[in-house]
Structure 1
Amino acid sequence: MRDAAFATHEKLNRYYAVHARIYDATRWTFLLGRNEILDVAARELSAIHEPRILEAGCGTGRNLQTLGRRMPRASLTGVDVCAPMLARASKRLGGLGLCRAGVTAKLARRPYDAPLEPGSHDLVLFSYALSMFNPGFEQALDAAYADLRPGGLLAVVDFHDTALDGFRAWMRANHVRMEGHLLPELEARFAPRRVSVRPAWFGVWRYALFVGEKK
């Protein structure tokens, strides 16, 4: 399992060595629902003075930056296996004045296959990440459960499925699994508070939003 995961991480690093530079400029066209899940997370955490937020598969830091601006005393942690993406996240979080508003941010290059600080986070976020953890999405969910405090929230937006075999194969070639496999695992581990599956691009695929509470 570890050898397979290592091989996957190396493939992703090679892939994002090219794509990291154009990621934010291009992915908005099909990474649907990201702003909505961030809106939901910000509302859910509005009563917490200094929320602790962890994003697994944080990529370029776009989501963490948005949450930091909306919650000026948040503690942000981003985890990713891809060095090119983390380099962009570091520039984004370190160079845009978040710290002057009281936000703290730290990044770590590592797989999210074990908890970082068990029982300490108010929110763990996966934004179009779990469908790329192949193998490893089950371990990531277990790590998130451990890292959340009692009553803490898991927020997920991700690809769900497609009826088109050719599109599914093309996405698999780009490291994405689209087989409707995530929601059953999410609902088995967390008490659902918000679940939605929606069509994208005239039904070519569907994406899912999930917010659940640590049981």
Structure 2
Amino acid sequence: MSNTSENPITEVHTKNIAQYYRFHSHIYDATRWSFLFGRKTLVEEIPSLPTNARILEVGCGTGDNLIQLKQRFPNTQITGIDISTDMLGKARTKITDPAISLKRRRYGAINLNEEPYDLILLSYSLTMMGAGYPQIITELKNDLSKNGYLAIVDFHTSPLPWFRKWMKINHADFSGELYPLLKESFSSVQTSFHNAYLGLWNYFLFIGTQN
């Protein structure tokens, strides 16, 4: 995994997110099912991976995606990273498989000295990084193997200014800027957009490969 000299995710933002999830880690699994749509579908729609594939989830949270990934791809080595100690603590209570490792990392800030990944998954984490997307996308391209897949489910935008403002208070970017950059930077294998709550906001699923 490549090292970044000027990581766009600031220390201040990292501390704010960690503080945010200090409380939300206790209610995350009980509440996010009603808000973070498409996570299970994304895992189900990832194409086949080679035996002994290497998988990375950036922003693994309480670990549900990691468990589903291991069920879908049993002969793989999986790493989940997150900046929240509290969220990782919840994940460790669920995960006992030695093939799944959990690490507290700010993506791109520390060189993990690892080979490129066959799959990198981000589930509602990119729009919460509070940083310039171009540099993060560069990191993803560096960390993804030549024939690997990038799988993302995330917020897109909302037609309602008050809702976009409210979500910004909750550290989520609803500007709609993320998807066009992904489309430009990766070759789409599958892309779909979906409305939530009759169009209160929309989200997208994206599976892509290196250009």
TM-score (norm 2): 0.91
Partner residue in 1 for 2:108: 113
Task: Tell me, yes or no, if structure 1 residue 20 matches structure 2 residue 25.
Answer: yes
Asked whether 1:171 is paired with 2:163, we answer no
2:10 pairs with 1:5 = yes
Return 5+ residue gaps in structure 1 as ranges.
Answer: none
Which of the numbers 37, 50, 54 marks the counterpart of 2:42?
37
Provide the C-alpha distance between the structure 2 equivalents of 1:136 and 1:8, rounded to a whole number of angstroms.
13
| SS of structure 2 residue aligned to 1:157 | strand
Q: Does the Cα contact within 8 Å between 2:149 and 2:209 map onto a contact in 1?
A: yes
Among the aligned pairs, what percent are the same residue?
38
Question: For residue 176 of structure 2, what is the aligned residue in structure 1?
Answer: 180
**Paired position in structure 2 for 1:143:** 139
Cα distance, 1:117 vs structure 2: 4.9
Structure 2 distance, partners of 1:128, 1:201, is: 17
Q: Which 4+ runs in 1 deviate beyond 6 A? A: none
- The reply to whether residue 128 of structure 1 matches residue 131 of structure 2 is no
Backbone CA RMSD of aligned residues: 1.8
One-letter code aligned to 1:23: Y
**CA deviation after TM superposition for structure 1 residue 118, in Å:** 6.0
The amino acid across from 1:71 in the alignment is F
SS of aligned partner of 1:38: helix
User: Deviations 1:156-185 (Å, cap 9, x if unpaired)?
Assistant: 000000010110010000000101111111
In 1, distance between residues paired with 2:188 and 2:8? 33
Q: Distance in 2 between matches of 1:70 and 1:123?
A: 13
Note the C-alpha offset of 1:145.
1.1
Compare the two structures and name the one with the higher helix fraction: 1
Task: Evaluate the alpha carbon distance shift between residue 63 and residue 80 of structure 1 in structure 2; reply closer, same or farther with a 3 A threshold.
Answer: same
Per-residue deviation at 1:3? 8.9
Aligned residue for 2:149, secondary structure, equals: strand
Match of residue 74 from structure 2? 72
Structure 2 residues without counterparts, runs of 5 or longer: 1-5
1:44-63 map, 5 Å: 44-46=47-49, 48-63=50-65
